[in-house]
Structure 1
Amino acid sequence: MQAIDGVAEREALPGLRERKKQRTRNALTRHALELFARQGYDGTTVDEIAEAADVSQRTFFRYFANKEEVALALQEVEEAVALAALANRPPEEPPLTAMCRAAMATWDAMGPAIVAVVPLELHLATQRMIESTPQLLAARLRRLGHFEDRLAAEIARREGVDLAADPRPRVLVAACSGVLRAASRVWGEKEDGDLDDLLRLVTDYLGLLGPALTGTWRNPAEAGPDPR
C-alpha cells in the first residue's frame, strides 16, 4: 500500500510543479504589465519586475528572455484560444465561415483566460501600449507571422489539402488576420474604447470581409459607363 501511495505522490508532483511554475509566470506577467502601465515600457527594468513579483532576476530569466517577451506573454494565451476555437469548428463549415466564427468564439473564450492572469482593463491598456511602441509592435507582427502559419496548417488539415502546394489556406488566414489587425488598430486610436467597442468593430469588419472581396462597392447607378 505504501508503494502505491508513493507512486501516486510521485505522479502528482509534476502537476504541482507545473502549477507553481504557471503561478510564477502569471505573477511576473501581471507585475510587468502593471509597471508598464504606470511608468511606461522603456521606463521599466527587469529588476523592477522581479522585485515587484518577489523573485530574483535569475528567476525572471527562467521564464522570459527579456522585457519584450513578458510584454507579449498574453499573446500566447490568445493564440492558444484561437487555435482551439478553429479546431473545434464543425468540419462541414466552409473555410471562411469557420475562420470568422472561430474568431468570434475566441473573443468569448479569451476573457476568462486573460482574467486568470490580469484584469481585463490592464490587458486592454497593454494592447494600446503595444500598438504605440514600435519595438513591441514589430515583435508582435513577427509572432503573428508564425501564428498565421499554424492557422493555415489547421485550415489545410480541415480541408484535406496540401499546404505546400495549395496557397488558399495562407490567403484566407492572411485576409482574416488583416481584418482583425485593422479593427484593432482603429480601436486602439480611441482612448476611451472598451472591450465592447472592440468586439463591435471585429464583428462588423469580419462581416464585411466577404462583400469587400467579392461584391460591387458602388451603387450601379453611380458606377458610370462600363469602360469595356
Structure 2
Amino acid sequence: MRDEVSAHAWALFAQQGYEATTVEQIAEAAGMSPRTFFRYVASKDELLLERLLEHGPAVADRLAGAAPDLPAWRALRDALDAVVVPQDADAAQVRPLVTMLRDEPAVRAATAERRHRWEQLLAPVLAARLSVPGAAVTADDARVLALAGAALACLDAAQLAWVGRPAERLADLLDAAMGAVSPL
C-alpha cells in the first residue's frame, strides 16, 4: 500500500510540482481518505525523502562489489549506474521530477539530506577500497569524503544538465561531468 501511495504522490509531483500537491490529492489518487493516508505515511515530506534515498543502498552495494583493482573514481562512476540507468530508461517521467527538485525551495532540504545519507553509505565502502595493508583509511578521512561528495556533485550536475537536453542520455552527461573532475 505504501508503494502505491508513493507512486501516486510522485506522479502528482511530476504533474503539478511538490508544493502544489496536497495530501488530500495524494490520498484521493490512491483511493483512500487522508486519514488512511496518515496510517501509512507521516507526511508528503516523508514520501519525498524516502524516494530520494531509495537508490543509495544499491549504489553502495555496486561500489562494494566492484573489482578490487578498479580505481575508486571509476568504481564510483560504475556504481552510480544504479541511479542513472533507471533514470535514462524512464526519462520522460524523471525529468519533470528532477526539475521539481531543482526549482522548488521546499524540497532543497530533502535533497541535501539525500546527499548526506548517500555520503554516509559510500564512505565506509570507499574507506575499505582505499585501505592498504598497514594503512587503514577511515570513513571520515578527507579523501573518502572528497571522493564521495565529488561523485555525488557530478551526478547532481549531470542531472541538472540532462533536464534541458532531452536528446542526451544522463549516462553520457555523468561521464562528461566525472571526466571533467578526474584529471584534477
TM-score range relative to shorter protein: 0.7 to 0.9
Any gaps of 5 or more consecutive residues in structure 2? none
Runs of 4+ displaced beyond 6 Å: none
Q: Are residue 166 (structure 1) and residue 138 (structure 2) matched?
A: no
Q: Against the structure 1 CA distance between its residues 187 and 107, is the aligned structure 2 distance closer, same or farther, given a 3 Å change threshold?
A: closer
Give the CA RMSD over aligned residues.
2.5
Partner of 2:17: 40
Q: How does 1:1-228 map to 2 (within 5 A)?
A: 24-104=1-81, 106-108=83-85, 110=86, 120-160=91-131, 161-163=136-138, 166-188=141-163, 190=164, 193=166, 196-211=168-183, 213=184
Secondary structure of 1:91 counterpart: coil
The CA distance in 2 between the partners of 1:167 and 1:143, in whole Å, is 20
How many angstroms does 1:163 deviate by? 1.8
Q: Against the structure 1 CA distance between its residues 157 and 64, is the aligned structure 2 distance closer, same or farther, given a 3 Å change threshold?
A: farther
TM-score normalized by the length of structure 1: 0.68
Higher relative contact order (CA 8 A, sep 6+): 2
TM-score normalized by the length of structure 2: 0.83
Q: Residues 28-78 of structure 1: CA distance to partner in whole angstroms, max 9, x if unpaired?
A: 112112222333322221122112101333442344332222234332222
Structure showing greater radius of gyration is 1
The CA distance in 1 between the partners of 2:139 and 2:148, in whole Å, is 15
How many angstroms does 1:152 deviate by? 0.9
Indicate conservation of the 8 Å contact 1:152/1:170, yes or no: yes
The sequence identity of aligned pairs, in percent, is: 33
Any gaps of 5 or more consecutive residues in structure 1? 1-23, 214-228
